[in-house]
C-alpha cells in the first residue's frame, strides 16, 4: 500500500513524457530544422538518417527483447541450478560477430555512396559563391556577377550553388540547416560545399549560423539566405554589381547632366532630361520575412540617441562626411568599408577591407552579422558605439563622449548625434 504513491508518480511521469514526445509532432513550425527536403543535399542526408533510424529501431527491439527475456527467464531463484555457461563457445562468438557485420553492410554502402556524391565536385555551370568568414560576420562574393555583399545571401531556386569557403581569421563554420551544410571555414585552406535549393522555394528565408566557436561574438555571427526566382536573382545581381543609384554623388551627377541638357539648344530642351534611375533591382520583400527571421537582439540601454534627429538627417551632408577626404579623421568609414563609386583615392578593395561592403547596405534587412534589423535607429546606435552593441566588434566607437571598451577610453574626437543622423541618411540611400 505504501508503494502506491510511487507508482502513481511513475505513471504520471510516463504520461508526461509521452505528451512531451507527442508535442514534438504538433503542426508547429521548426524553422531551423534540418529535417526538410528543401535541397538535394538535405534529401540525401535525410534518406541516410531515415535508413539508420529504421535499422536502429529493429536492432533496439530485438536486443531489448532478448535482454528482457534473459533477465526474466534466468533470474536467480532460491535453489535453482547454475544456468548453462557459454564462455569460450567459438561457434556463438563467430555468429555474434557476423550479425553486426551483416547489419553494418546495408548501412555502410549508402553512407559511402552519399559521401562520394555530396563531396564530389559541384556540377559544371553552378552558381559560384565565395564565402569569407570574419570575426563576426559573413562576406559573400559572386565572382560571376562582380557582386560583394554581407550577411544576406541571395540564391536562385532550382540552381546548384557551389560555395567556396574561406576564413580571413579564425575557424568558422557555415550552416544553413534548412538547406544543408554544415562545413568548416579553415585557416589557410579552401573548403567546398554545394547544394541545389528546390525549385519551389521562391521567396523563402532560411536562418544560418556560425557553428564553430570563434570568439566572443560567435553566437552573433548569423546569416539569412533568401531563395528567390531565377529572374529576381538576375535582377538583384545586375543592380548590386554597380554603385547605388540613390547615392548623392550619382544623383548630383544626374542633376548636372539634367541642367546641362536644359542649357543646351532648343532641340535638346524639348527632349525631356532623363530622370535619375532609382530602381534598386529586385530586393527581397520585407513582408516575406517570418518572425523567426527578424532579429530580436535587445539594444543596450546605455547607448542613447535622439531619434528625432533621424527624421532630418541630411544624406548630402552624410555623403560629404563619409566620402570627403578632408573628413577622413572624423569619419574614416572608407578605410574599412568599400562603397562602390566612392573613395577611389583610398585604394580599398574587397580583399583588404576589414568591414562589410556597404555599396548596397540600404537594401539589407539586417546588419552586424544578422544581429539587428536594419533601420535608421539601430544603425545610428551602431555607429555611435558598435562595441557596446556587439561584444568584440572591431568597428570603432564614434559617438563623442562614448566609452570605447576596446580603447578603454572615452571618445573625444568623434561624431555628434547630428552627424551620425546625416551618415545614416546617406547609408539609407545606398539601395
Binding site for ligand CUA (CB under 6 A): 133, 136, 172, 210, 212-214, 218, 221
Q: Which residue lies nearer to ligand CUA by CB, 136 or 284?
A: 136
| Closer of 137 and 236 to ligand CUA (Cβ) | 137
Quick check: 284 and 153 in contact, CB under 8 A? no
Nearer to ligand CUA, 13 or 213 (CB): 213
Give the sign of the dihedral formed by CA 101, CA 102, CA 104, CA 108: positive
Question: Minimum distance between the CB of residue 333 and ligand CUA, rounded to whole angstroms?
Answer: 24
Nearer to ligand CUA, 138 or 233 (CB): 138
Closest by alpha carbon to 288, among 209, 369, 232, 231? 232
Output the nine-digit C-alpha cell for 201.
522555394
> Which is it for strands 161-167 and 127-134: parallel, antiparallel or unpaired?
parallel
Q: Which is nearer to ligand CUA, 141 or 218 (CB)?
A: 218
Residue the block writes with cell 535482454: 67
- Residue 3 CB, nearest distance to ligand CUA (Å)? 51
Q: Which is nearer to ligand CUA, 133 or 295 (CB)?
A: 133
Q: Least Å distance between CB 211 and ligand CUA?
A: 7
Q: How far is the CB of 218 from ligand CUA (least distance, A)?
A: 4
Nearer to ligand CUA, 141 or 172 (CB): 172
Q: How far is the CB of 191 from ligand CUA (least distance, A)?
A: 14
**Distance of CA 423 to CAs 224, 301, 315, Å?**
25, 22, 7
| Closest CB to ligand CUA among residues 174, 233 | 174
Least gap, CB of 173 to ligand CUA (angstroms): 7
Smallest gap from Cβ 161 to ligand CUA, in A, equals 20
Q: Closest separation between CB of residue 219 and ligand CUA, Å?
A: 8
Q: What are phi and psi of 413, to 5 degrees?
A: -105, 100
Q: How far is the CB of 171 from ligand CUA (least distance, A)?
A: 8
C-beta closer to ligand CUA: residue 214 or 315: 214
Residues contacting 42, CB < 8 A, separation 6+: 34, 36, 178, 179, 180, 195
Amino acid at each position: 500500500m505504501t508503494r502506491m504513491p510511487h507508482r502513481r508518480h511513475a505513471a504520471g511521469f510516463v504520461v508526461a513524457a509521452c505528451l512531451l514526445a507527442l508535442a514534438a509532432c504538433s503542426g508547429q513550425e521548426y524553422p531551423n530544422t534540418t529535417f526538410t527536403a528543401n535541397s538535394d543535399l538535405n534529401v540525401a542526408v535525410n534518406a541516410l538518417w531515415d535508413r539508420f533510424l529504421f535499422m536502429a529501431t529493429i536492432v533496439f527491439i530485438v536486443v531489448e527483447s532478448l535482454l528482457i527475456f534473459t533477465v526474466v527467464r534466468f533470474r536467480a531463484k532460491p535453489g535453482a541450478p547454475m544456468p548453462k555457461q557459454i564462455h569460450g563457445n567459438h561457434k556463438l562468438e563467430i555468429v555474434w560477430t557476423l550479425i553486426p557485420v551483416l547489419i553494418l553492410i546495408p548501412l555502410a554502402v549508402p553512407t559511402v555512396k552519399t559521401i562520394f556524391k555530396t563531396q564530389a565536385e559541384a556540377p559544371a555551370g553552378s552558381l559560384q559563391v565565395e564565402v569569407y568568414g570574419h570575426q563576426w560576420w559573413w562576406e559573400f562574393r559572386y565572382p560571376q556577377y562582380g557582386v560583394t555583399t554581407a550577411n544576406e545571401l541571395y540564391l536562385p531556386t532550382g540552381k546548384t550553388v557551389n560555395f567556396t569557403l574561406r576564413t580571413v581569421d579564425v575557424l568558422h563554420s557555415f550552416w544553413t540547416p534548412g538547406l544543408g551544410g554544415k562545413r568548416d571555414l579553415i585557416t589557410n585552406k579552401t573548403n567546398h560545399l554545394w547544394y541545389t535549393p528546390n525549385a519551389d522555394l521562391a521567396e523563402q528565408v532560411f536562418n544560418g549560423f556560425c557553428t564553430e566557436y570563434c570568439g566572443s561574438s560567435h553566437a552573433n555571427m548569423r546569416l539569412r539566405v533568401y531563395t528567390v526566382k531565377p529572374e529576381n536573382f538576375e535582377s538583384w545581381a545586375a543592380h548590386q554589381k554597380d554603385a547605388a543609384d540613390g547615392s548623392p554623388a550619382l544623383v548630383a551627377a544626374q542633376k548636372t547632366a539634367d541642367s546641362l541638357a536644359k542649357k543646351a539648344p532648343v532641340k535638346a530642351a524639348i527632349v525631356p532630361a532623363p530622370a535619375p534611375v532609382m530602381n534598386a533591382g529586385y530586393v527581397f520583400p520585407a513582408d516575406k520575412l517570418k518572425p523567426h527571421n527578424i532579429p530580436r537582439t535587445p539594444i543596450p540601454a546605455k547607448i542613447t540617441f535622439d531619434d528625432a534627429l533621424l527624421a532630418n538627417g541630411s544624406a548630402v551632408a552624410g555623403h560629404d562626411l563619409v566620402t570627403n577626404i578632408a573628413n577622413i579623421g572624423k569619419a574614416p568609414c572608407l578605410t574599412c568599408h568599400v562603397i562602390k563609386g566612392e573613395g577611389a583615392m583610398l585604394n580599398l578593395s574587397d580583399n583588404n577591407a576589414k568591414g562589410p561592403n556597404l555599396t548596397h547596405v540600404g537594401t539589407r534587412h539586417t546588419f552586424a552579422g544578422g544581429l539587428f534589423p536594419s533601420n535608421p535607429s539601430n544603425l545610428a546606435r551602431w555607429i555611435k558605439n558598435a562595441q557596446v552593441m556587439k561584444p568584440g566588434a572591431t568597428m570603432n566607437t564614434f559617438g563623442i563622449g562614448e566609452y570605447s571598451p576596446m580603447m578603454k577610453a572615452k571618445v573625444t574626437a568623434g561624431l555628434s548625434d547630428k552627424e551620425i543622423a546625416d551618415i545614416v541618411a546617406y547609408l539609407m540611400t545606398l539601395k
